């Protein structure tokens, strides 16, 4: 009887333990699910960007120097005292317009002397001709020997040559006198005027009287590193290959250039890169190029500077919005979400920009989900409720 009672008590104790264990287990499960639900319920709703490849347009800046298509140094061809200056610095002149006048008195006197010498030579030639005409019938009638006639003809030839020489000297004197009036060889704008009235000028002067610039079309000279130049060269070769065309090595393939003026304004006309230096500068590793711009409104002047912007198209690259990144010291980070929507901070490498996006060299793969905002509200391991952008 005692054994049976003891067995009954032990069975009841066992049933009680099993029941209590079941209750505890159910309570723990309920608490776990509740905590998970609470975590998901409290997760921040933040926008995410899914990484993929696309074409990027990058803009490179190049500092350029503006020069007129025609820059002519105006120098005197004769020496003398500067007597008149008909123009002012910065004024526009037409081709053939008078610019300067050099005192012509010396050259007028030289011309007068040359004309007098020419007249003397004409008179001598006339006398020599008369002598030949006088002697010819005498020789024909055997009155005098033929030697006299030959001598007279020789003197005639000498007189004729002397007249030709005198005539050339007259023309030379006329040219020198004409050089005392200096005119514009082309239409354009007058540069600095270093000389003043009364100064002695000559063609051997170290600096010109002025520089005349034709700026209806201007050149912008700039330098590009070898890497960028090779990009455009290879891009042209690829395009010709796709189109089935034979690549022409002397054909340039640069996009239209945009010119930013010194005041930060964008010049309204686009330019075209139309010339490339044949050699790369060994000291800088750069190559010189030239872009042409129409300047009908005369906004651009020689000697000015500006910044050229030239676009490059990079195909099939990974880009992310710049707002998705944060910086710490010299490294750039983004926050990505794993399959459970947990946050993980990851370091990335940037190799360029395209408008408001960064071009990624490494650190991200296609399909990664990157947080776009709320970066200051999360840490590694935080759970986020993603909103796809």
Please indicate, yes or no, if residue 262 is contained in any of the structural domains. Answer: yes
Q: Name every residue whose Cβ is closer than 8 Å to that of residue 23 and which is 6 or more positions away in sequence.
A: none
Using CA atoms, how far apart are residues 132 and 226, in angstroms rounded to an integer?
A: 80
Please indicate, yes or no, if residue 283 is contained in any of the structural domains. Answer: yes
Q: What string of pLDDT tens digits covers the 389 residues of the chain?
A: 445 555 555 455 554 544 445 444 444 544 445 444 444 556 788 999 999 999 888 888 999 999 888 889 999 999 999 999 999 998 989 999 999 999 999 999 999 999 999 999 999 999 999 988 888 888 777 777 778 888 888 999 999 999 999 999 999 999 999 999 999 998 888 989 999 999 999 999 999 999 998 888 899 999 998 888 888 877 655 554 444 444 455 456 788 899 999 999 999 999 999 888 878 888 888 999 999 999 878 888 888 899 999 988 888 899 999 999 998 888 999 999 999 999 999 999 998 888 889 999 999 999 999 999 988 888 888 898 888 87
Q: Name every residue whose Cβ is closer than 8 Å to that of residue 111 and which is 6 or more positions away in sequence.
A: 170, 173, 174, 176, 177
The reply to whether 165 and 153 lie within a common domain is: yes
The reply to whether 134 and 198 lie within a common domain is: no
Using CA atoms, how far apart are residues 234 and 210, in angstroms rounded to an integer?
A: 44
Specify the pTM.
0.58
pLDDT at 348: 94
Please indicate, yes or no, if residue 28 is contained in any of the structural domains. Answer: no
The reply to whether 234 and 190 lie within a common domain is: no
Q: Which residues pair with 260 in a beta bridge?
A: 266, 307
Name the one residue in this structure whose structure tokens are 């007189």: 159
Q: Name every residue whose Cβ is closer than 8 Å to that of residue 152 and which is 6 or more positions away in sequence.
A: 128, 131, 132, 135
The reply to whether 186 and 252 lie within a common domain is: no
Please indicate, yes or no, if residue 8 is contained in any of the structural domains. Answer: no
Q: Report the CATH number at residue 134.
A: 1.10.287.470
Counting the structural domains of the chain, the total is 4
The reply to whether 236 and 293 lie within a common domain is: yes
Q: Which of 313, 339, 368 is the last residue of a domain?
A: 313
The reply to whether 251 and 296 lie within a common domain is: yes
Using CA atoms, how far apart are residues 307 and 223, in angstroms rounded to an integer?
A: 11
Q: Quickly list DSSP for 374-387.
A: -GGG--TT-BEEEE
The reply to whether 346 and 261 lie within a common domain is: no
pLDDT at 246: 47
Tokens of 151: 């001598």
CB atoms within 10 A of CB 189: 20
**Residues 319, 233 contacting (CB under 8 angstroms):** no
CB atoms within 10 A of CB 198: 9
What's 187's DSSP letter?
Answer: S
The reply to whether 330 and 355 lie within a common domain is: yes
What angle (nearest 5°) sits at the alpha carbon of residue 107, between those of residues 103 and 111?
150
Q: Report the CATH number at residue 255.
A: 2.40.30.170
Using CA atoms, how far apart are residues 66 and 272, in angstroms rounded to an integer?
A: 14
Q: Which of 22, 44, 141 is nearest to 335 (CA)?
A: 44
Please indicate, yes or no, if residue 175 is contained in any of the structural domains. Answer: no
Please indicate, yes or no, if residue 52 is contained in any of the structural domains. Answer: yes
Name the one residue in this structure whose structure tokens are 């500092």: 63
The reply to whether 82 and 190 lie within a common domain is: yes
Q: Where are the alpha helices (DSSP H) in the chain?
A: 2-42, 105-140, 146-178, 226-242
**Furthest C-alpha separation in the chain:** 198
Q: Report the CATH number at residue 203.
A: 2.40.50.100
pLDDT at 244: 46
pLDDT at 14: 52
The reply to whether 94 and 134 lie within a common domain is: no
Please indicate, yes or no, if residue 13 is contained in any of the structural domains. Answer: no
Helices 105-140 and 146-178, interaxial angle, to 10°?
Answer: 160
Domain that holds residue 230: 60-67+215-313
Q: Report the CATH number at residue 341.
A: 2.40.420.20
Please indicate, yes or no, if residue 132 is contained in any of the structural domains. Answer: yes
CB atoms within 10 A of CB 172: 13
The reply to whether 239 and 194 lie within a common domain is: no
Q: Which of 297, 313, 329 is the last residue of a domain?
A: 313
The reply to whether 89 and 203 lie within a common domain is: yes
């Amino acid at each position: 009887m005692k054994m049976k009672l003891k067995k009954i008590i032990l069975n009841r104790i066992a049933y009680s333990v099993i029941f209590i264990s079941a209750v505890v287990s159910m309570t723990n499960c309920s608490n776990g699910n509740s905590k998970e639900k609470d975590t998901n319920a409290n997760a921040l709703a933040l926008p995410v960007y899914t990484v993929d490849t696309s074409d990027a347009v990058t803009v490179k800046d190049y500092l350029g120097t503006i020069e007129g298509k025609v820059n002519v140094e105006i120098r005197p061809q004769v020496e003398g005292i500067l007597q008149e200056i008909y123009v002012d610095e910065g004024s526009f002149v037409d081709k053939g317009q008078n610019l300067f006048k050099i005192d012509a008195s010396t050259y007028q006197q030289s011309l007068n002397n040359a004309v007098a010498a020419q007249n003397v030579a004409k008179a001598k030639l006339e006398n020599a001709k008369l002598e030949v005409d006088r002697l010819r019938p005498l020789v024909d009638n055997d009155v005098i020997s033929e030697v006299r006639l030959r001598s007279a003809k020789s003197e005639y030839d000498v007189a004729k040559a002397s007249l030709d020489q005198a005539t050339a000297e007259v023309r030379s004197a006329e040219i020198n006198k004409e050089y005392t009036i200096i005119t514009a060889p082309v239409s354009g704008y007058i540069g600095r005027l270093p000389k003043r009235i009364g100064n002695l000028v000559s063609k051997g002067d170290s600096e010109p009287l002025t520089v005349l610039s034709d700026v209806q079309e201007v050149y912008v000279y700039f330098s590009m590193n070898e890497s960028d130049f090779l990009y455009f060269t290879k891009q042209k070769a690829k395009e010709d290959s796709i189109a089935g065309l034979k690549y022409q090595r002397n054909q340039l393939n640069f996009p239209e250039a945009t010119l930013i003026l010194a005041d930060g304004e964008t010049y309204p006309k686009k330019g075209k890169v139309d010339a490339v230096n044949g050699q790369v500068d060994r000291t800088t590793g750069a190559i010189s190029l030239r872009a042409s711009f129409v300047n009908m409104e005369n906004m651009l002047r020689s000697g000015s500077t500006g910044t050229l912007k030239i676009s490059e198209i990079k195909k099939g690259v990974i880009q992310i919005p710049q707002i998705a990144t944060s910086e710490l010291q010299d490294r750039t980070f983004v926050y990505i979400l794993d399959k459970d929507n947990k946050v993980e901070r990851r370091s990335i490498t940037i190799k360029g920009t395209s408008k408001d996006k960064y071009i990624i060299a490494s650190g991200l793969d296609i399909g990664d989900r990157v947080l776009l905002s709320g970066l200051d509200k999360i840490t590694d391991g935080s759970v986020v409720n993603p909103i796809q952008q």
